[in-house]
């Protein structure tokens, strides 16, 4: 069996295909959005390398799989092609994040000041994920201004950034010290 080609040369002229077949410029808003989601997914993988507990690693694996689904959804011409089942974010997916946020947050001290990113390696990585997630959310809203985007996608990404914030707090409280903004 012949190995699949990594390079196709079809994008050499600055265009690529969406799921649905339409060729678009590589600067298209959809590519910015799913490229940012892909960037986030890479950083989540980097964050997972720093995690010591299996429960968090397992949850981050769930997140990575769902981010792949979000990217697939964003690469789909939703105005003319129904997203594949594997590209759908469900209410259960959103609930799973909310449950994990609540689980982590109940163990944390009350927050009454703004915190700065940092305090430990794992917390810093989680904050990088949080800030990239917020950028991805902004990019997805830009896509939604022009094309149909299921609101569960935006809710999922919004909750995910909250999760990274709480995970950063958990990590810094276990492995460092929270750094507060000094007015």
Using a pLDDT cut of 90, give the percent of the chain over it. Answer: 74
What is the enclosing helix (H) or strand (E) of 180?
A: strand 179-180
Q: Containing domain of residue 89, as a range?
A: 28-180
pLDDT at 158 over 80: yes
Question: Residues with Cβ < 8 Å from 79, sequence gap 6 or more?
Answer: 147, 148
The total number of structural domains in the chain stands at 1
Q: What is the CATH number of the domain that holds 70?
A: 1.20.1200.10
Could you tell me if residue 19 is inside a domain? Answer: no
The answer to whether residue 13 sits within a structural domain is: no
pLDDT by residue (tens digit) across 58-77? 999 999 999 999 999 999 98
73 within a domain of the structure (yes/no) = yes
The residue ranking higher by pLDDT, 166 or 80, is 166
Residue 5 covered by a domain: no
Tell whether the model's pLDDT for residue 10 goes beyond 80: no
| SS3 of 15-55 | EEECECCCEEECCCHHHHHHHHHHHHHHHHHHHHHHCCCHH
Is residue 14 in a domain?
no
Quote the pLDDT of residue 38.
96
Residue 6 included in any domain: no
pLDDT of residue 12: 64
Mean pLDDT along residues 131-136: 98
The Cα–Cα gap between 142 and 20 comes to 20
Q: Is residue 2 one of the residues assigned to a domain?
A: no
Give the SS3 label for residue 179: strand
Give yes or no for a contact between 79 and 22, defined as CB atoms under 8 angstroms apart: no
Q: What is the pLDDT of residue 128?
A: 98
DSSP state, residue 176: S
pTM: 0.92
pLDDT at 15: 64
| pLDDT tens-digit map of 13-43 | 676 666 776 776 777 899 999 999 999 999 9
Mean pLDDT (whole number) for 124-133? 98
Whether 17 is in a domain gets the answer no
**Is residue 154 scored above 70 in pLDDT?**
yes
What is the average pLDDT score of the chain? 91
pLDDT at position 18: 63
Within 10 Å of residue 26's Cβ, how many Cβ atoms?
A: 12
Position with higher pLDDT, 183 vs 100: 100
């Amino acid at each position: 069996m012949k190995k699949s080609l990594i390079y196709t040369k079809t994008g050499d002229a600055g265009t690529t295909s969406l799921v649905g077949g339409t060729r678009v410029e590589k600067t298209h808003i959809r590519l910015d959005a799913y490229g940012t989601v892909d960037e986030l997914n890479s950083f989540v993988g980097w964050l997972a390398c720093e995690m010591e507990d299996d429960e968090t690693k397992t949850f981050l694996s769930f997140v990575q799989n769902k981010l792949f689904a979000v990217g697939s959804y964003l690469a789909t011409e939703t105005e003319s092609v129904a997203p594949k089942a594997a590209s759908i974010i469900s209410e259960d997916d959103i609930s799973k994040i909310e449950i994990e946020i609540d689980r982590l947050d109940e163990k944390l001290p009350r927050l009454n000041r703004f915190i700065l990113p940092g305090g430990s390696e794992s917390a810093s990585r989680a904050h990088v994920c949080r800030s990239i997630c917020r950028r991805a959310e902004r990019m997805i809203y830009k896509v939604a201004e022009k094309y149909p985007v299921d609101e569960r996608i935006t809710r999922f990404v919004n909750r995910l950034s909250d999760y990274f914030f709480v995970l950063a707090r958990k990590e810094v409280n276990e492995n460092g010290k929270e750094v507060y903004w000094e007015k």
